[in-house]
Chain A
Amino acid sequence: MEIKMNLISEDKINSMTVTEKLRFVLDGVKSGDIVVLEGGLTSEEQMKLIELTMTEVDDDFPGIEMSGYPSKKGFLNIRKKTRLTVIGPAKMMHTTKKDKDFISAIISAV
């Protein structure tokens, strides 16, 4: 079986509203894709994504697996720079190792 990956550029992400972003990610993941976002989601957006995911969990869709590099402190420690986030279906994706600059995940077809 094949696994599709969607790699989304920062420019494309920045052109979307938060709602559009989350809908876009979750639609991809629910149809079995692995979604990689350059520049990633903020912690607040990730929390909203968990919330949205929980409203759509059912017997066939147990939820998501999400992994990302934590944001970096930006200018004067105020502005935060988010970094890459990868999201996949919990049934398929499993993060095996992760630190602040490294993510290793296993993707398996279901």
Chain B
Amino acid sequence: MKSKRRWKSILTRLRRALSFRKGTAKIGIYGPPNAGKTTLTNRIIHTFVDENEDVGLATEVPHETRRAVRREGVTIDLKAKSLEDPNSDLNSESEVKRKRGKAKLKLDVVDTPGLATKIDFHEFMAYGLEEDEAKKRAKEATEGVIEAIKWLDDIDGVVLLMDSTEDPYTQTNIIIIGNMEARGIPIIIAANKVDLVDATPQRIANAFPQHSVIPISALKGENMLDLYEEMARRFR
């Protein structure tokens, strides 16, 4: 049985290697609720597609995204002008990087609902929702989690987003990584919210030493070039 699974994983890898070349990679933005998945997806769209287009709403209420949203036809172009990092004083360094990375990557980006093992409607009431609304939202959130999991079957690469101010070593993060490894799907960990003073992206790097961890601020647009370069390298 074990070897059957291993064959399956090898076949998946092979199929993926072939499909990658002919088409567009479907990249899933995954992570726990509130990690900043929608904020990141919106930024990717703003930078490479349309300044005024949003895939969804980013709010401080968890489970804001309760349906996966796919945006097709995004071309990540490392030479794009809009990639200037306003908050970086390392412009000369990013200049060097830009010359090195002339890559373009075509992809569909999928913003997914946050993964969780529990959804308590009381949590939404604490954000001021009426009981009925909170229960409805909880129900939709459970469906969202299922949808996010189902999408894993159709995904070619994952950006796993974590909040750098929080403990990264959670069971859901471990499970996502374990599943990607078992399926042979490339994964990049983005340590988000590094603009906050209590952010410790190093803790994420320490927790998952076998993976590349890119510190970013999806909200402020810090360090995005590093992430895009890594995406172009790993998801091609």
Contacts and interface: CB of A to CB of B under 8 A. Distances in A.
A109 interface: no
A42 B119 contact: no
Contacts of A44: 178-179, 182
Given A78-B6, A90-B117, A90-B120, A43 B175 contact: yes
Contacts of A99: 169
B138 interface: yes
A51 B146 contact: yes
Nearest to B120: A62
Interface in B221-236: none
Is the interface on chain B under 10, 10 to 19, 20 to 34, or 35 or more residues?
A: 20 to 34
B200 to A, nearest CB: 15
A42 B116 contact: no
Contacts of A68: 171, 174
Nearest to A86: B171
Interface residues of A, number: 29
Contacts of B119: 54, 57, 62-63
Interface string B93-127: 00000000000000000000001111111000000
Given A59-B135, A63-B117, A46 B171 contact: yes
B135 A70 contact: no
A68 B171 CA distance: 7
B213 interface: no
Contacts, number: 79
Interface string A52-91: 0111010100111111101100000011100000000010
Interface in B1-60: 2, 6
A80 B149 CA distance: 22
B179 A43 contact: yes
Nearest to A99: B169
B182 A66 contact: no
Interface in B175-213: 175-179, 181-182
B146 A43 contact: no
A50 interface: yes
Nearest to A48: B149
Interface in A26-40: none
A97 to B, nearest CB: 9
B118 A90 contact: yes
A54 B178 contact: no
Given A46-B175, A50-B145, A70-B178, A63 B116 contact: yes
B173 to A, nearest CB: 10
A42 B178 contact: yes
A98 interface: yes
B164 to A, nearest CB: 18
| Those 7 A-B pairs whose CB atoms lie nearest each other, nearest first | A43-B178, A63-B118, A90-B118, A62-B120, A54-B142, A46-B175, A57-B142
6 contacts: A43-B174, A63-B117, A64-B118, A90-B117, A90-B118, A100-B169
Interface of B: 2, 6, 115-121, 135, 138, 142-143, 145-146, 149, 152, 169-172, 174-179, 181-182
